[in-house]
Amino acid sequence: MDNSQKILKMISGFIEAGIITTQDLKKELSTSLKFQKENFVGKLDLVTKKEFDVLKKIIEKQQKEINRLKKKRSK
């Protein structure tokens, strides 16, 4: 059963029990979507801006060294 079916089944269960208001429904949907978003983002293996900047500086330094060695070799 996929996530959307689980959500609809949960909501219909609450409605049948008569224990849900529109605000409760909104809160449940918001919470469910938040967890799904966090799960999806967690699977992407993203890096922080700081990590990215550090790697960028390392690459720039290596590229300068490569260019320097190329010039030295061609002389």
Q: What string of pLDDT tens digits covers the 75 residues of the chain?
A: 577 788 788 777 777 776 667 777 778 788 888 988 888 888 888 889 999 999 999 999 999 999 999 998 887
Sketch the domain layout of the chain as residue ranges. 1-44, 46-75
Task: Answer for the pair 14, 32: CB distance below 8 angstroms, yes or no.
Answer: no
Reduced to 3 states, what is the DSSP secondary structure of residue 3?
Answer: helix
Record the pTM. Answer: 0.45
Q: 65: closest CA among 50, 54, 75, 73?
A: 73
